């Protein structure tokens, strides 16, 4: 199998899980379908051309295929070891000597923070560019404010788990969607007036 970012992801340390050549080829095929859809004509992060709802569905289907291929236990280990969020948290642990038990909690908080940030940005994009046949819900702005509040809370939770301000700043610098998500609830994109704000929303230091 030729070297590529996808192939390299499964060729490193996978938490002690050993993959056969056949499993590696199948994992490569599954991930390539997600990351280079439509025969490679699009990149998965091409937001202008590739709908994020469709991407999320493809990710879920890919996860189920990998789980069926590896089994529940091996899938759980491989999924974590190949998750960019885990790799980021693990690097923080190594760099700032954060105890291993705290890294597990940090990983969970970081994943929830990233998911909430991405959800708020997706909703903000729909509010700014509504699709005629699928207009935003009347409660969309209330939901956006709630998502921004969730981002704020998860950010504080992760900061408390890491107990290291420098590590938190490095994490935030590597996650640009966090600052965008925190700012997404600051004003109404159409009228310029602020929506009902969360209790504490501030840009990362």
pLDDT at 132: 56
- Are 9 and 82 in contact by the 8 Å Cβ rule? The answer is yes
pLDDT at 170: 96
Bridge partners of 134, per DSSP, are 131
pLDDT at 173: 94
pLDDT in tens, the chain (205 residues): 555 666 666 665 676 788 888 988 898 898 888 877 655 444 445 544 446 677 778 888 999 999 999 999 999 888 888 888 999 999 999 999 999 999 999 999 999 999 999 899 988 888 887 765 566 677 888 999 999 999 999 999 999 999 999 999 999 999 999 988 888 655 454 444 444 444 444 444 4
- Are 198 and 152 in contact by the 8 Å Cβ rule? The answer is yes
- Which pair of tokens denotes residue 83? 């998750």
pLDDT at 58: 87
- pTM to 2 decimals? 0.70
Question: How many angstroms separate the Cα of 65 from the Cα of each of 28, 60, 173, 179?
Answer: 12, 9, 33, 33
Judged on CB neighbours under 10 Å (0-12, 13-18, 19+), 170 is middle
- Which pair of tokens denotes residue 11? 């060729």
pLDDT at 48: 45
DSSP state of 49: T
| CA dist., res. 74 & res. 195, Å (int) | 45
| CA dist., res. 182 & res. 204, Å (int) | 8
| CA dist., res. 153 & res. 176, Å (int) | 17
């Amino acid at each position: 199998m030729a070297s590529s970012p996808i192939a390299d992801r499964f060729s490193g340390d996978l938490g002690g899980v050993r993959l056969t050549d056949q499993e590696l080829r199948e994992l490569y095929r599954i991930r390539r379908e997600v990351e280079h859809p439509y025969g490679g004509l699009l990149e998965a992060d091409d937001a202008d051309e590739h709908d994020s709802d469709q991407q999320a569905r493809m990710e879920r289907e890919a996860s189920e295929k990998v789980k069926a291929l590896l089994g529940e236990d091996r899938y759980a280990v491989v999924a974590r070891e190949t998750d960019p969020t885990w790799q980021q948290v693990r690097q923080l642990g190594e760099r700032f000597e954060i105890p291993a038990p705290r890294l597990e909690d940090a990983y969970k908080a970081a994943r929830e923070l990233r998911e909430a940030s991405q959800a708020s940005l997706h909703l903000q994009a729909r509010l700014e560019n509504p699709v005629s046949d699928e207009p935003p819900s009347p409660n969309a702005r209330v939901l956006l404010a709630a998502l921004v509040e969730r981002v704020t809370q998860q950010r504080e939770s992760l900061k408390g788990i890491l107990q290291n301000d420098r590590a938190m700043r490095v994490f935030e610098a590597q996650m640009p969607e966090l600052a965008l998500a925190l700012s997404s609830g600051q004003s109404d994109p159409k009228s310029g007036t602020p929506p009902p704000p969360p209790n504490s929303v501030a840009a990362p230091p």
